[in-house]
């Protein structure tokens, strides 16, 4: 090893003619500031959120999230152009309906990025390095949860903001757009928490990334399939109330139903039965987020440091 030879550690002269040289000034102690647990947690949160888009990671990890985001935003651009060309008075696709229409892309994003966020740390046992630092296990879970939720929120909100820009370019009045956009963003916040929670619980169950991806896609697709089946059967039998409750069965209809509390029409009909139903939807959505958090904390309590 080069460092063990003192003569080579003293100075490395630069190529001839230059006076620059790299000097080894020996070991320097650090006496600058040391940040506390909260600051460390914030750093991990931001790192996780950025990591979901491959920022600060190797180049090829950027490909999938960037392609998905482009696919997610492209329809918004097209809708905006069409609206401004034909001079429409209203957007053909409103803000809330947008993410439910493109639910498949959202599912794929969560399914690929949730395992990328946690399976990697489990598989390569990086967690033992995190937990041998001041940070506690709960801090890690909170940071990863919030980080992925933030990434999913950005994924949902980006096309909504593009739609707003398109609407303004088509000279639709801002005052008419804002309430709908606010409702859509509120729904996006809840949806990102629900999806991040479900995704992380499944991803953290296995150190195998591929398994995590498959599990998340399977669960979300199966749930929406079951919901569609229950809805279809209910409608066929004329059981409208049951049809309304069927929305509880999968995240997108669940959050969409809860969002009707804010005054929007359900974009995925038929929506929850009445205001009481909408309250139940909201309560279930929040309970689901809480349950995912508790499950993650329990999961990470069992992760061994060695």
Partner 1 sequence: MITTVGLTKRYGPVTAVDDLSVDVAPGVVGLVGANGAGKSTLLKVLLGLLPATSGTASVLGLDVATQGEEIRARVGYMPEHDCLPPDVSATEFVVHMARMSGLPTTAARERTADTLRHVGLYEERYRPMGGYSTGMRQRVKLAQALAHDPQLVLLDEPTNGLDPAGRDDMLGLVRRIGTEFGISVLVTSHLLGELERVCDAVVVVDGGRLLRSTSTADLTAASALLVVEVEDGDRDGRGAQLLAGALRDAGVVVHPGGAASRLLEVELAGDATYDAVRDGAARLGLGLVRVQQRRHRMAEVFAPPAAGAGAPGPAVRASDDDQEVGARVGTV
Report the interface residues with partner 1, using CB under 8 A: 1-4, 24, 26-30, 32-37, 39-40, 43-44, 47, 56-58, 61, 120-121, 124-126, 128-136, 305-306
Return the half-sphere exposure (C-beta side, CA atoms, 13 A cut-off) of residue 5: 6
The least CB distance from residue 58 to partner 1, in Å, is 5
C-beta closer to partner 1: residue 21 or 174:
21
- Please, which residue, 31 or 236, has the CB nearer to partner 1? 31
In the bound complex, what is the minimum distance in angstroms from residue 264's beta carbon to partner 1?
Answer: 41
Q: What is the b/e burial string over 182-197, where b = at least 16 CB atoms within 10 angstroms of the residue's CB?
A: ebbbbbbbbbbbbbbb
Task: Name the residue nearer to partner 1 (CB basis): 40 or 172.
Answer: 40
Residues found in the chain: 306
How far are the Cα atoms of 44, 120, 228 from residue 114, in angstroms, in the given order?
A: 15, 10, 25
Backbone angles phi, psi at 26, to 5 degrees: 75, -175
Q: What is the DSSP letter of 93?
A: S
Q: Kindly tell me which of 3 and 86 has the beta carbon lying closer to partner 1.
A: 3
Q: How far is the CB of 86 from partner 1 (least distance, A)?
A: 47
Q: 238 phi and psi, to 5 degrees?
A: 75, 15
Nearer to partner 1, 158 or 211 (CB): 211
Nearer to partner 1 by C-beta: 132 or 241? Answer: 132
User: 208 exposed, middle or buried (CB, 10 Å; 0-12, 13-18, 19+)?
Assistant: middle
Count of Cβ atoms closer than 10 Å to residue 81 Cβ: 13
Which residue number, 64 or 168, has a Cβ lying nearer to partner 1?
64
Report in angstroms how near the CB of residue 3 gets to partner 1 at its nearest: 5
In sequence order, the 6+-apart residues with CB closer than 8 A to the CB of 104 are: none
Whether 146 and 197 have beta carbons less than 8 Å apart is answered as no
Instruction: Report the first-to-last Cα separation within the chain, whole angstroms.
Output: 28
- Shortest distance, CB of residue 14 to partner 1, whole angstroms? 15
Query: What's the min distance (Å) between Cβ of 243 and partner 1?
Result: 46
CB of 134 to partner 1, least distance (A): 5
């Amino acid at each position: 090893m080069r460092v063990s030879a003192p003569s080579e550690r003293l100075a490395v002269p630069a190529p001839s003619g230059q006076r620059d040289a790299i000097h080894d000034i020996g070991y320097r102690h650090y006496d600058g500031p040391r940040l506390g647990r909260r600051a460390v947690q914030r750093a991990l949160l931001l790192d996780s959120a950025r990591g979901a888009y491959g920022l600060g990671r190797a180049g090829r990890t950027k490909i999938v999230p960037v392609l998905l985001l482009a696919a997610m935003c492209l329809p918004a651009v097209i809708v905006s152009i069409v609206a401004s060309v034909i001079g429409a008075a209203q957007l053909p696709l409103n803000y809330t309906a947008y993410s439910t229409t493109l639910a498949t892309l959202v599912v794929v994003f969560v399914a690929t990025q949730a395992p990328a966020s946690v399976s990697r740390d489990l598989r390569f046992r990086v967690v033992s390095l995190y937990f041998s630092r001041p940070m506690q296990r709960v801090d890690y879970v909170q940071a990863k949860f919030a980080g992925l939720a933030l990434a999913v929120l950005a994924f949902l909100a980006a096309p909504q903001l593009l739609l707003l820009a398109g609407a303004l370019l088509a000279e639709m009045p801002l005052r008419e757009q804002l309430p709908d956009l606010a409702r859509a963003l509120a729904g996006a916040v809840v949806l990102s928490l629900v999806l991040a929670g479900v995704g992380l619980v499944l991803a953290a169950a296995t150190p195998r990334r591929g398994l995590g991806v498959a599990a998340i896609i399977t669960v979300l697709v199966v749930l929406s399939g079951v919901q569609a089946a229950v809805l279809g059967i209910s409608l066929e039998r004329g059981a409208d109330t049951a049809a309304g409750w069927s929305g509880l069965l999968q995240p997108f209809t669940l959050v969409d139903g809860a969002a009707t509390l804010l005054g929007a029409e359900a974009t995925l009909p038929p929506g929850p039965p009445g205001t009481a139903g909408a309250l139940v939807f909201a309560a279930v959505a929040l309970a689901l987020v809480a349950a995912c958090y508790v499950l993650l904390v329990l999961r990470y309590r069992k992760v061994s440091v060695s």
